Amino acid sequence: MLDSILSTETSSLQKVLPFSQSSSSSTHWVWNSKTFVMGILNTSPDSFSAPGITDLELAAEAGLRMESDGVDMIDIGAVTRRPGAAEDLSTAEEIEKLVPLIRLLRERGCKVPISVDVFKSAVAEAVIEAGADVINDVGMGVRDPTMIPMAAKLGVPIIFMHTRGSPMDMHTFTSYKNDDVVSGVIEELHEVTERALRAGIPRWNIIIDPGIGFAKTAEQNMEILRNLEHFHCKDSPLFGYPILLACSKKKFIGTVTGVDEASQRGPGSMAATAACISVGIDIIRVHDIPENIQVAKFADSFWRVKTGTL
């Protein structure tokens, strides 16, 4: 009898991501129930894909439109992270751009979780206090060593995106031990997750991102995509951590497809979305929301979720 109860309870256990902000309509995400779509809301005028929305009202409208289109999370950035770019905002200036937008979105009734691209702990603290839910650490806990303690203090989910150096010099850090970019990225992400756990960040609050396009060549980006199963297989030191992939409109997609203009790389990006879902990626970070939601729904029904609708 006890064995039967234990078996039933164990089989019903689910890995979830809890959100602490009361303004979010969903208190948690259930992993492996679907592919979650993160929409990009860029407020930097120097974005690689298209000029960001610098007007506060227009940016808020864009965020609310994303929510209406069905996005699961809005990811806001105030500083361009494209390779070769100079990060030209001070901490105070970055906060001044991000905090009013987050507050306005919440005032206008935005209920979906909000994540924010940051690498400075002071910015992270300000945006979470303003109503954001998730820290998207594009510095992997390295560029600002106080980021991990801050995330532990705030008690919110954190995404660790693999990178090396800064946008200005990351192209000089593409050499990996034994020319094995997959093992190198896994090892470096494992190191940061172990530091996070030791600092008191719960395992369920950690998401990893292989950092496509950051300190990697086009060939290395493709090598990672071809070997994504190594990031979450049972033999991986990263086993159990949800994985976010951000391929949308990046240069390597143009290299593969022969499309130079970033704004025209939508079809290639959607192919990348489907490919990532086929190997169990948990979150996709994208520009074209309705199109990628359609791709995710169909790819989920094919590879992940048996809907019973056909």
The whole-number pLDDT of residue 50 equals 57
State the Cα–Cα distance between residues 154 and 125, nearest whole angstrom: 7
The whole-number pLDDT of residue 86 equals 63
Q: Which residue has the higher pLDDT, 89 or 201?
A: 201
User: Mean pLDDT in the chain?
Assistant: 89
pLDDT, one tens digit per residue, over 146-156 is 999 999 999 99
**How many Cβ atoms sit within 10 Å of the Cβ of residue 290?**
14
- Is the pLDDT at 24 greater than 80? The verdict is no
Give just the sign of the alpha carbon dihedral 236, 238, 244, 247: negative
The whole-number pLDDT of residue 53 equals 85
Under 8 Å between Cβ of 17 and 31:
yes
The whole-number pLDDT of residue 82 equals 64
Report residue 1's pLDDT band, with 50, 70 and 90 as the boundaries: very low
- Is the pLDDT at 25 greater than 60? The verdict is no
Segment holding 299, helix H or strand E: helix 289-299
- Is the pLDDT at 254 greater than 60? The verdict is yes
Query: What is the pTM for the complete model shown?
Result: 0.90
Domains in the chain (CATH in brackets) are: 29-304 (3.20.20.20)
